[in-house]
Amino acid sequence: MPKKIPKKTIQRVLIYHRYLTFLLQQGTRDISSKSLADILETTPSQVRKDLSCFGRFGKSGSGYDVLELRDLIGKRLGFEKLRKVCIAGMGNLGVALAGYRGFEDLGLTIQAVFDSDPKKINRKFDGLVCRDIKEIAPVVKKNQIDMAVLTVPAGSAQEVARRLENAGIRAILNFTPVKLTLSSRVKVSNVDLAVELKTLSFFIR
């Protein structure tokens, strides 16, 4: 895949991929750039520009074959190789994410879950035995996990994130409100649900 593709472009293409999967389930075989543009309220030219970062798709005037486009995007983004993911923090959000069935469509598979609560350790969550946070290093290394979802309480976020880094985790999706201090080897993407909800609240005042 070409380097230095803007993050926003990748995010839009991921949404295209998800929508194309939905269209296939509905029996749709072909789609135009205009229809794809309508998803994000953007323009057909933006869609074509986004897709051009990943290669040549479709034919002028005839749109795109949904299955072909979905699979080509998946290949360019590396979905054919499943990325192994762990979840640190089995509160309500962690449990919900562990049970989400859409990860495999994105080339992701949950391999391990962790918590520090004795009541949760050794319990099964969606078929996965919850391990002690202190076991992150051996479990991550044994299963060759390279991505993590962080949903622990804010007070322990930095400590757990450091454990994940030391275990060899290369990317963390951080759902805590804490700004993590890690080395440049680890890519961190922050998701603050509270801020997103408050932003929506502002717009519907």
Considering the domain architecture, whether residues 184 and 104 belong to the same structural domain is answered as yes
Report the pLDDT value the prediction gives residue 94, as an integer from 0 to 100: 96
CA–CA separation, 9 and 7 (whole Å): 5
Question: 118-154, pLDDT tens digit by residue?
Answer: 999 999 999 999 999 999 999 999 999 999 999 999 9
CA–CA separation, 139 and 33 (whole Å): 44
Instruction: Name the phi and psi angles at 115, rounded to 5.
Output: -160, 165
DSSP-derived secondary structure letter, 59: B
DSSP-derived secondary structure letter, 121: T
**Which of the two residues, 38 and 188, has the higher pLDDT score?**
188
Task: Check the CA dihedral 46-48-51-53 and report its sign.
Answer: negative
pTM of the predicted model over 0.75? yes
Flag whether 93 is marked binding: yes
Asked, for residue 205, whether it belongs to a domain, the answer is no
In sequence order, the β-bridge partners of residue 109 are 84
Contact yes or no for 112/48 (Cβ under 8 A)? no
With a CB cutoff of 8 Å and minimum separation 6, the contacts of 25 are none
Counting residues of the chain whose pLDDT is more than 90, the rounded percentage is: 54
Q: What total of structural domains would you count in the chain?
A: 2
Flag whether 90 is marked binding: yes
**Which of the two residues, 55 and 172, has the higher pLDDT score?**
172
Report the pLDDT value the prediction gives residue 1, as an integer from 0 to 100: 45
Position 2 pLDDT exceeds 50: no
Task: Check the CA dihedral 108-3-20-67 and report its sign.
Answer: negative
CATH of the domain at 98: 3.40.50.720
Neighbours of 9 (CB within 10 A): 16
Asked, for residue 126, whether it belongs to a domain, the answer is yes
Counting residues of the chain whose pLDDT is more than 70, the rounded percentage is: 96
Considering the domain architecture, whether residues 157 and 191 belong to the same structural domain is answered as yes
Considering the domain architecture, whether residues 50 and 113 belong to the same structural domain is answered as no
CATH of the domain at 36: 1.10.10.10
Flag whether 92 is marked binding: yes
Domain around 125:
83-196
